[in-house]
Amino acid sequence: MDLKLKIWRQAAQDAPGKFVMYPIQNISSEASFLEMLDILNEQLVAKGEDPVAFDHDCREGICGMCSLFINGKPHGPDAAITTCQLHMRRFNDGDTIVIEPWRAKPFPVIKDLMVDRTAFDEIIQAGGFVSVNTGGVPDANAIPIKKRNADLAMDAASCIGCGACVAACKNASAMLFVSAKVSQFALLPQGKVEAKERVQKMVAKMDDLGFGNCTNTYACEAECPKEISVTNIARMNREFLCAKVS
């Protein structure tokens, strides 16, 4: 496959950025998207040019670092995958592929396609944990939990914090991410002790960091690689309202 890559290049957070066109040839349709970028970088280094900076780690759809905006969609044209799971067979010979970083004020660009997602870490640090003393490790079956609640909690906990929900939202809202982290504890007895404090602190930190409000367009759910449901947002709103009125 011969392709044209229109890539956002930005030397630093406070530096101006621009799109640069890179032609690339003989790419296998079985290559992953990140492998294709590796090939491009090898060619750039061989020519003495600066390689394109992009995030990656596990390359197995687990870590969520491979956060790229591809042809106007977070993680590219496939559903329920991360960028590292996207393969070049989803594109056609001769295509022009536009590659950008996440676009959100709380996610400033570090360089090229890398953004700083420390904001998500700060939200978790504000209350996304269980800190009460629960004694020794209990037997797995010692605390009865309804299967439906356990399943919903596990679904919420599958969020990898990639930020696709923020990138997809016209308001750069982090409601899906925060609600998933609230829900994974709110549904379980271990998380109920600090439930009121947790949801208030996490929502307050989300607002302080400059994330926008949810307008129920469902773009976050549509682009989430782990298919986190927007029902978690409704649950978080209920948790927040109960915390405020009680």
For residue 100, give the H/E element and its range: strand 96-100
Q: What is the pLDDT of residues 35-58, one digit of tens each?
A: 999 999 999 999 999 999 999 999
Domain count across the chain: 2
**Domain endpoint, select from 110, 126, 152:** 110
Q: Contact 99/70 with Cβ under 8 angstroms?
A: yes
Rounded Cα distance, 96 and 228, in Å: 30
Q: What range does the domain containing 234 cover?
A: 117-245
Same domain for 93 and 138, yes or no, is no
85-103 average pLDDT score: 98
Instruction: Supply the CATH number for residue 82's domain.
Output: 3.10.20.30
CATH of the domain at 229: 1.10.1060.10
Would you say residue 141 has pLDDT above 90?
no
Q: What is the mean pLDDT of residues 134-161?
A: 87
What's the mean per-residue pLDDT of the chain?
96
Cα separation, 177 vs 228, whole angstroms: 9
- Do 192 and 228 belong together in one domain? yes
Single residue among 79, 94, 110 that ends a domain in this structure: 110
For the chain, the farthest-separated pair of C-alpha atoms sits apart, in whole angstroms, at 65
State whether 125 and 240 are in the same domain. yes
Confidence of residue 140 (pLDDT cuts 50, 70, 90): low
**Residue where one domain finishes, among candidates 55, 89, 110:** 110
Quick one: 139 and 230 in the same domain?
yes
pLDDT of 135 strictly over 80: no
